[in-house]
Chains A and B, each alone.
Chain A
Amino acid sequence: MLEIKNLKASINDKLILKGLNLNIKDGELHAVMGPNGSGKSTLANVLSGKNGYEISGDLKFKGQSLAEIPVEERAQKGIFLAFQYPLEIPGVNTNNFLKTSLNSVRKATGKKELDTLSFLKLVKDKSLELGIDEKILSRQLNVGFSGGEKKKNEILQMKILDPAFSILDETDSGLDIDALKIIAKGVNSSRANNKSFLVITHYQRLLDYIKPDFVHVLSDGKIVKTGCSDLAKELEKTGYKKIN
């Protein structure tokens, strides 16, 4: 699914990712943990193609280099990023945004665009499945949403767009236990042989609900340790300092 070789990324001449290697196979779920400032969000941004980074190294998605591919095309190819801080867009109806988004992706992949009725049915099914109140969908996109509602909305979007590769950038931060369970449900119900996940988190807590195949520790722009889910538990006890 995703191959990262010796990835370096800097912003404003400051080197943040310093030669990162990561290989995510089809069907795998990888968790990336690490202290503040270790480059976790930069990794998420760089994978999604955000502008403003100076990048070197190899980045391949489904065997194809991502080097020259802009954000929207990566999204259309099936890379999804659940934002740490989802943006508010006043005046834009959430349903309308989601429909535009879904149809852009469908169009790009040669599928027929969904009409409003089929779209609304899809949305209803998915929100019911996750236990999300669909009322948030008739509100302006993320405007006046609580932190939890914003994150749930991200996961609902993930379910509806049904991407091959999903990145969750600290989606669990600041969530209560009920919201956390909804996020976990969204991920667990999406897992399949042809889908992969990169879950970025500070805490081991989320990993009680989502079982990763691998856990990586990111420190100072590099992956310094890789293990199975036990590694997360160990980190919880010892903290990041002992790892180096």
Chain B
Amino acid sequence: MNSMNNGMGPVEHGTRNLLIQARLKRRYFTEKVFQLLGILAIVTAMAMLGVLFVTIIGKGYRAFQQTFIRLEVFFDRVEIDPLGTGERDVLSRADYGLLVKNAMRDVFPYVTERREKRELYAVVSSGAAFQLREMVMSDPGIIGSRQAVWVLADDDVDMYIKGVFEEGGGRLSERQVLWVQDLMSRGDLRKRLNTAFFTKGDSREPELAGIGGAVVGSLYTMTVTLLLSFPLGVATAVYLEEFAPRNFFTDIIEVNINNLAAVPSIVFGLLGLAVYLNFFGLPRSAPLVGGLVLTLMTLPTIIIASRASLQAVPPSIRQGALGVGASQMQSVLHHVLPLALPGMLTGTIIGMARALGETAPLLMIGMVAFIVDIPAGIMDKATVLPVQIYLWADSPERAFLERTSAAIIVLLAFLLLMNGLAVVLRKKFEQRW
């Protein structure tokens, strides 16, 4: 038996080795496959993100440039202020469209037929008249003089110049295409940086529409949200984590907070409609109400993040403080809170970034609206960036397509900035124990 065993030993050993090696190979192989799948997942995600960025930026970058036409405008005293009173009321009510039309006719004097003239005037944006009015209002001295003015071209001309139309002149007539080409060859039609896109409010004329109003609205809304949700969130987290007794009641509160974080945002909008508008009678479409609703939405996120960062502070720090005679509150305020604050800030910023991109809850409280004037305060009517994107995406004019993408680029830039800030704060103040 013994000798047989000895005889069999190496053979058995050899087969076992082979078995082990085979299994090991299989295990390495499955691990490789697993890693490969992981990489594949990342690549797919990155590819999709890449497609998103490429399409959005590919469409959106065009909106940062706008087509302008150079016109020799004669600020005719007879048309603007025939009596020479110089009163602002008279100046503001004058027909500046006529000045634009006269200037266009000077460029193409052979256009006389009525239908043709209408087509000619349509090459220039209706915003040109307002631009001339602003010029006169800010400096009445130019009345009677002849000035070279770069005015906005119509959105159809702009689309044609940017090559958006698939065939020929798109919505432009053959005559209009000829005029545009004529202007271009003279150097009187050019693409220039579109600063109005960042400063102006919404408009139904794509060439006049800007995100200025929406950005200011977002700013007010976010300020209200931050002012309310950060102190409330941090106070709640500190009390629940450091002071509150563990009992049935606090357990219920905890479950509710965690649940609230997962509630769809539209529900908060409905709540806002019922409570703030119908019960308290706050005005519709105001950033204040928007901020209040978004506060409800971000509070759970902030509370949960703040509690997590309080939990991450080692108990030894609290015990040390208590050991040298600090009160419970002193230990929290002087030692625990400063250490937990970076984490809390990160949570807050991420919550705010989510709130910045939210439209659904605002639909219910009337912030999804056409608003031209730039809001003057938290009680004024306002809209926010994502809502502006939503409204433009639904507009029939082709030129709104690129504006939609451009507004998305701006929103993404803000989000990137906020999330970047969160990363920087974490890296800078993070404590490791």
Q: Is the A/B pair a real complex?
A: no
Give residues in B with beta carbon < 8 Å to A: none
Give residues in A with beta carbon < 8 Å to B: none
